[in-house]
Amino acid sequence: MRTPHGVSLTYGLLETLGQSIVSGAYDGRGFPTEAELCTQFSASRTVAREAVKMLTAKGLLSARPRQGTKVEPVSRWNLLDPDVTRWLMERPFSNTIYREFTEVRLAIEPVAASLAATRANRKDIQAIRDGLNGMRDNASEHEQALQADIEFHVAILRASGNPFFWQLRELINTALRISISITNKVAGHTASIPAHEAVLLAIEAGDAEGAQLAMQAILRESLDLIGTYQPELA
């Protein structure tokens, strides 16, 4: 049975290796052997083996007899895994990855808002409203406002009544947490309270089309802001 300390070492190595793989540190050269990992990171074989196993489960690595362990192409990565999502978005800035994540949200969240308008119960609607109130009450506090914004969007996924949408909450959470910092820099302010309130009011009114359009407006604005962001000028 692994100790908590062993678990923390494993996750520490997982984090280091995952970030390195996603940032391209092993492009054009082989992935270290288990013995090399142990030497380089002063890790036990158990920790190294477990970290590699976890990266393999995320699609970043593969191990084959007599071929060793190799880094897989991006097309094989589990892009919906929260760790992989975060590592991708923590790379040096690229408009492309932020745009792609927002496009995924654009395909999901307006439909979730539409479904919420027809399926949400009082508890669901209160959770969405709590998120909106948190955004309003903490508008001058970036971290609290961001967390409330995430809670607003995640509450809508739950209110959709679709368990597949709910399973995507970690993806939405990660994409929001990192990309909103970019769009806020461009816009010069936190998320629009009226725009989010329009989504809530449509859901409360049972207006499926209105909820869908209001959510689309939020995400299309994010796409536009991401497209104009130039980090070297920030």
Q: What are phi and psi of 70, to 5 degrees?
A: -135, 155
Select from 3.40.630.30, 3.40.50.2300, 3.30.420.40, 1.10.10.10 the CATH code of 4-76.
1.10.10.10
Tokens representing 47 are 């920790």
Measured distance CA(212)–CA(203) in Å, rounded: 9
Domain pair 4-76 / 93-233, same fold? no
pLDDT tens digits, 141-185 = 888 988 899 899 999 999 999 999 988 888 878 777 777 767 766
How do beta strands 68-71 and 61-64 pair?
A: antiparallel
Q: How many CB atoms lie within 10 A of CB 118?
A: 13
- Supply the DSSP string of 89-116, one letter for each residue: HTSSP-HHHHHHHHHHHHHHHHHHHHHH
Domain 93-233 classification at class level: mainly alpha
The tens place of each residue's pLDDT in the chain, 234 residues long, gives 343 444 588 999 999 999 999 989 998 888 999 999 999 999 999 999 999 999 999 999 998 887 789 999 988 999 888 899 888 877 765 667 778 888 888 999 999 999 999 999 999 999 999 999 999 999 888 889 888 998 999 999 999 999 999 888 888 787 777 777 677 666 665 688 999 999 999 999 999 999 999 999 999 988 888 777 665 444
Domain-wise residue ranges, the chain: 4-76, 93-233
The pTM score is 0.77
CA pair distance 199, 195, nearest whole angstrom:
7
Residue 71 phi, psi (nearest 5): -80, 130
Cα-based distances in Å from 30 to 18, 21, 27, 72, 84:
15, 11, 8, 11, 20
